Copies of this chain bind each other. A is one copy, B any other.
Amino acid sequence: MSRRHVTSHNVARRAGVSQSVVSRAFRPGAPISEALREKVLRAADELGYTPNAFARGLLHRRTGLVGLAVEDASHPLQAVLLDRLLTGLESLSLAPILVAAHDAAALSAGLARVEAYRPDGILVCGPTLPPALGTRLREDGVPVVLLNRYPAEPGTTAVALTDNRAGGEAMACHLLALGHRHVAIIGGPPGAPAAADRAAGFGAAVRRAGLGSPPEHPGHYSPEGGAAAAAALILLRPRPTALLCCNDLMALGALSALRAAGLRVPEDVSVAGFDGIAAGAWSAPPLTTMQQDLPALVVAALDLLVARLADPDLPPETRLVAPLLRERGSTAALTT
């Protein structure tokens, strides 16, 4: 018999005990003598017995499963997040069922499908949760935690988020400290709240320095978009001496566009990114960036999750995680 069909009955017979004793042998702290437990565990081991989580899940309200919705596992940031999340969940004895959620419709459909497995909780690193879905999950008492995603309506869901606004401000301070006075922003796609917050923080700090609102050009979060935006922004007069890109991918694109335009980075133009993706370390020059603290983000999200696993009625909470400035070669002091 294949060991996956070994039941507690088989183990019981082999150990010469009743089936309930087998069950108890696997629950720490259950009323059972050490001698019997020893005997049962040995028999179980010999037969290759693994308790069936499906039978167990039918009885308990706990399945040990969490739904993990990801928008795009191939994105460099999400990939790192996912990897960390995996080991974190493992140490919590939670098994993630992955849900591809390229858009809100896929999210809804995917979560509906995992609902059959009665996950103990749901982690979303994907598209914004449609409000109706969020409400339903809340009514059902399923804890939901957003990871680096803005809730549709602030204050309705637990969320761990990079402090994008503070990151934008800190990057502005870095560039201003280097002496830059003409700075411009390459923004994200319209409607992306993270990019908007980054740009807002940046703009606020620049205005505070008495330099007016920095010009902004959308770059759609892609290297191509960043390249196009950079090409457009360097036509401004006076020409910006520093570019804040709302993510690293666009900054990488901007680097190529500037080189193509015959401008040197950082001598002629400083370029700063946001995110801290690995590719930024290998570019020429290496990218100065506001690195998201992914480990801290994962810790915060899992913290939020376990708290709600224990008490589903905990109120929504937002945990902001500060990003870290990584100074590399793409920004330098203004020389004139």
Contact = CB atoms under 8 A, between A and B. Distances in A.
Interface residues of A, number: 65
A102 B316 CA distance: 34
A253 B282 CA distance: 7
Contacts of A52: 58, 116, 118
Contacts of A64: 116
Contacts of A34: none
A95 B87 CA distance: 19
B90 A141 contact: no
B95 A83 contact: no
A50 B83 contact: no
A80 B76 CA distance: 10
Q: Considering the complex of A and B, which 7 residue pairs feature the smallest CB-CB distances, nearest first?
A: A79-B79, A53-B116, A86-B100, A73-B83, A74-B83, A279-B279, A54-B57
Given A79-B74, A83-B74, A96 B98 contact: yes
A136 B45 CA distance: 13
Contact of A2 (B57, B96, B141): B141
Interface in A36-58: 48, 50-58
Contacts of A136: 3, 48
Contacts of A54: 54-55, 57-58, 63, 117-118
A259 interface: yes
B96 A83 contact: no
Nearest to A280: B279
A82 B86 contact: no
Interface stretch (A107-115, A154-162, A234-242): A107-115
Contacts of A53: 116-118
Contacts of A116: 50-53, 56, 64
A215 B85 CA distance: 41
A86 B73 contact: yes
A207 interface: no
B141 A113 contact: no
Contacts of A48: 136
A86 B102 CA distance: 11
Nearest to A82: B73
Interface in A66-99: 68, 70, 72-76, 78-80, 82-84, 86-87, 90, 93, 95-99
